[in-house]
Structure 1
Amino acid sequence: MACGDALGAGYEFDPPLASDASVTMKGGGGFDWAPGEWTDDTSMAVPIVNAIAAGHDLRDEAVLDEIVAAWALWARTAPDVGNQLRAVLSRTEPTASAVRVVARAHHDRHGRSGGNGSLMRTAPVALAYLDDPVALAAVARTISTLTHFETDAGDACVLWCLAIRHAVLEGTLDVRVGLDALPADRRALWEARFVVAEAGVPSDFSRNGWVVEALQAAWSAIVQPRSASGGASAAGTVSATPAGHLQDALEIAVRGGRDTDTVAAIAGGLLGARYGASAVPAAWRRIVHGWPDGLRADELVRRGVLAARADGGRSRRNPAVLDRRARKDRLATTWPTADHLAYASSGHISTLVRHPHDDGVWLGAVGILDDLPAEIDAVVSLCRVGRSQVPERIRVENRVAVWLVDEVDPRANPNLTFVLEDTVDAIAALRAEGRTVFVHCVQAISRTPTVGALYAARHRGVPIEQALRELTDALPHASPNAAFVRELVPRPLPAPRPGALAIQP
């Protein structure tokens, strides 16, 4: 969601782009965004995901008061606040009950309140009720009506949240799964709208500031690419992996023009639910950021995981299930909330060697982070690390966290091909910027030699069998798992995807 938002920020209010036009996370635009900076879409979603991650129930009016207060604080200095949202948030005290009254009055005064401002922020709501679709539908509409009284806005949030839930749990994209949660007299209307979206392209929906056309444009962008089945994207390139659908679809959403950041953010929420954070290109994750200052991709992943944890959902409905103090103590020492993960009991965690084919790449184990050589100024982590485990001197855009699980079961790494290729492209991008890169997992046994070998083959021209043999020899405990070896050896190695470029130091 955040990456779609930041990708579209630099193109907001522009006319549609050609189908082969390049789309990059360039920043700029009418509000002079920094490259990778998200806009109001994600900024309004942050207080929602914060509340869920903290274990709060969105059905609690006091929790909604906290969310509204955070929105009001953000809106005081935000460069980009929609007209409807600004009108609602600035005319009363920042409580849920007060803004509802103003939102209803705004609707009555203007005869409509169907802007896309509630749909753009709704994705995190789905994570709060993955095990309760009835509650999810009710809460999605409740949070929409805080600022948008119109029925279309509430319907759109219900439909999108239930589609996100379905994508998380079932791994498929289906915007119709929520139709039965709507009033009976509105289901045919939305079915007809979906049919129109699927027959068109995002640029057909020129009034995408309206919630209905924003949803139609987002869904149109999602169903346009054929890259999920190996076909060509609208840009004329071929995505080698199903996960490439996420990048293709977000670029297509932006090419639709006008409210580009919001349409791409909406699409991103659903695509992220289907493919997961591991499908988001490292080139985007390195630079995406926004309000509140200092919030970056890794932290969004952490909060998303906390929000989606099933035990958190049950404990909100039955506090006896999980003692809050015990939960707090556990979270203080485990991922995703711990500052430092203790891997000392894992065995050999002090391995450090230079890559056989690139002296600017170091390979090793997680323990090296505690005493990182001075020449290293970029870190690629192939295992989980604590919030402050990578030394502070490593600039945040030079830290790449990779979701790669050392297991043979293919379900552990559903985007394995994409993740491996994208990771070595990120290493190459860091090297192109002049960085000295440390690549590590826990013990440098399986993930590190796998990535090191693919880097040598993809970017240094070394035959993959030779590269794998040399990396295994170089790392004293190396023994890549069978799934990783099968992924490397039998397949041709495609060229790096366009857009995997270095960023400025």
Structure 2
Amino acid sequence: MSKENMQGTQDSESKLRGYLFGTACADALGRPVEHLTFEKIKEKYGEQGILELPPESPWTDDTQLMLVLARGLLEGAELELTELMDKIAKDLVIWLDEPDLGAGATTKGAALSLKDGIHWNESGLNSKTCGSLMRVGILGFIFSNDAEKLIEAASLSGRITHNHPTADAASIAGAYAVKLALDGIPPRDMFLPILKVTEGISDEFTEAIKHSYGLAHSNLSDKDALQKIGQGWYADETFALAYFCILRYPDDYKKAVQTGVNITGDSDSVASVAGGILGARLGIEAVPISWIEALNGKEILEEMVVPLLEKYFEVSENKAMS
């Protein structure tokens, strides 16, 4: 391997690790404060809220379902998208036997429909919750060199469980933001590309991301601005809150994630989306070592690194040859 190719491989591995551990650590930090008001978080953890991961911190369904999607990609990312969706649908059925880490009713209901023999193109529910958004970032890595397939895969895989237009737009944005992060695009310059790839899908999503961008560039405090965006239970708000955090702290993974978890709302989902995007942009070096060491299940992520990296290079080579 040439020195240039070796450097490229090392860089890709750092960014993949950054995405995986960036997502999972942020998810785990948000886990104990999900459903708590910001006032309750402060009562429990101090004026600044929760800031550090205690030992043996577990992740939630956000990371669990991202790994389900990752396994589907390992089985067939190089295939036509209909065949890939068959793999992902099968893995969602298998997921029903995994420990319940807090998955929402929409994802569970869709997976049960798949188990009952409903085809994946009819299994999705008309829900705009964030269950499809929180898992799609890994698509942004695997298909980062094939934007067309990335966008279609994000949409199709999201609609297996969530077929509401707002959830669809957020899924595309979540995966595409990771691709932009890998390309070295700073969060402020992601705004127009994300608007372009989600154009015409959901006015609700478009307004949410515009609102987020404007608030991030205002003089409002993080707390006041985040309250104006929402609580993150719906996909447009989840992405808008995460986007706000990375806009405010584009080069500071830790601060962006701490901002994302200390809200009244879906702390773990907001933080995991923000953490995955910034982890992909900044690499594993940006994720605190103490957080990685405190993460329960980190060996599962480690086991995924080499296979996912190999799949990424396989997919990228196939695209280059086509």
TM range (shorter): 0.7 to 0.9
Q: 2 CA distance for matches of 1:137 and 1:149?
A: 15
Q: How much does 1:65 deviate?
A: 2.4
Q: How much does 1:53 deviate?
A: 4.2
The alignment status of 1:25 with 2:53, answered yes or no, reads: yes
The alignment status of 1:220 with 2:244, answered yes or no, reads: yes
Q: How much does 1:284 deviate?
A: 1.4
Matches within 5 A, 1:42-121: 42-53=63-74, 56-57=77-78, 59-76=80-97, 77-93=99-115, 98-103=119-124, 106-107=125-126, 113-121=127-135
Structure 2 counterpart of 1:194, one-letter code? I
Matches within 5 A, 1:22-421: 22-26=50-54, 35-53=56-74, 56-57=77-78, 59-76=80-97, 77-93=99-115, 98-103=119-124, 106-107=125-126, 113-173=127-187, 174-184=190-200, 186=202, 190-198=205-213, 199=215, 201-225=225-249, 242=251, 245-290=252-297, 295-309=299-313, 311-315=314-318
- Would the aligned equivalents of 1:277 and 1:301 in 2 still touch at CA under 8 Å? no
- Would the aligned equivalents of 1:5 and 1:265 in 2 still touch at CA under 8 Å? yes
Q: 1 CA distance for matches of 2:101 and 2:181?
A: 33
Q: How much does 1:101 deviate?
A: 1.9
Structure 2 counterpart of 1:86, one-letter code? K
Q: 1 CA distance for matches of 2:248 and 2:121?
A: 37
CA distance 1:52–1:66, shift in 2 (3 Å): closer
Whichever structure has more strand as a proportion of its residues is: 1
- Would the aligned equivalents of 1:7 and 1:25 in 2 still touch at CA under 8 Å? yes
Q: 1 CA distance for matches of 2:25 and 2:191?
A: 21
Q: How much does 1:58 deviate?
A: 6.0
Q: How much does 1:304 deviate?
A: 4.5
CA distance 1:135–1:221, shift in 2 (3 Å): same
Q: How much does 1:23 deviate?
A: 2.1
Q: 1 CA distance for matches of 2:145 and 2:57?
A: 33
Q: How much does 1:90 deviate?
A: 1.7
Q: How much does 1:191 deviate?
A: 4.4
TM-score normalized by the length of structure 2: 0.77
Structure number with greater Rg is 1
Structure 2 counterpart of 1:73, one-letter code? I
Q: 2 CA distance for matches of 1:185 and 1:298?
A: 36
- Would the aligned equivalents of 2:68 and 2:95 in 1 still touch at CA under 8 Å? no
Secondary structure of the residue aligned to 1:147 is coil
Identify which of structures 1 and 2 has the higher relative contact order when contacts are C-alpha pairs closer than 8 Å and 6+ apart.
2
Q: How much does 1:211 deviate?
A: 0.6
CA displacement, residues 18-53 of structure 1 (integer Å, 9 cap, x when unaligned): 562242224xxxxxxx83211111111113223434
Q: 2 CA distance for matches of 1:212 and 1:101?
A: 22
Q: How much does 1:167 deviate?
A: 1.3
CA displacement, residues 71-92 of structure 1 (integer Å, 9 cap, x when unaligned): 2222233241211111111234
The number of equivalent residue pairs is 282
- Would the aligned equivalents of 1:141 and 1:158 in 2 still touch at CA under 8 Å? yes
Q: 1 CA distance for matches of 2:81 and 2:206?
A: 32
- Would the aligned equivalents of 1:285 and 1:297 in 2 still touch at CA under 8 Å? no
Q: Over aligned residue pairs, what C-alpha RMSD do you find?
A: 2.7
CA distance 1:60–1:184, shift in 2 (3 Å): closer
CA distance 1:206–1:303, shift in 2 (3 Å): farther
- Would the aligned equivalents of 1:247 and 1:280 in 2 still touch at CA under 8 Å? yes
Secondary structure of the residue aligned to 1:100 is coil
CA distance 1:171–1:203, shift in 2 (3 Å): same
Runs of 5+ unmatched residues, structure 2: 1-22, 216-223
- Would the aligned equivalents of 2:34 and 2:266 in 1 still touch at CA under 8 Å? yes
Structure 1 counterpart of 2:225, one-letter code? V
Matches within 5 A, 1:440-451: none
Q: 2 CA distance for matches of 1:61 and 1:295?
A: 31
- Would the aligned equivalents of 2:85 and 2:156 in 1 still touch at CA under 8 Å? no
Whichever structure has more helix as a proportion of its residues is: 2
Q: 1 CA distance for matches of 2:114 and 2:144?
A: 33
Runs of 5+ unmatched residues, structure 1: 27-33, 108-112, 229-241, 322-505
Q: 1 CA distance for matches of 2:301 and 2:48?
A: 28
CA distance 1:307–1:10, shift in 2 (3 Å): farther
CA distance 1:255–1:304, shift in 2 (3 Å): farther
Secondary structure of the residue aligned to 2:233 is coil
Secondary structure of the residue aligned to 1:250 is helix
Secondary structure of the residue aligned to 1:7 is helix
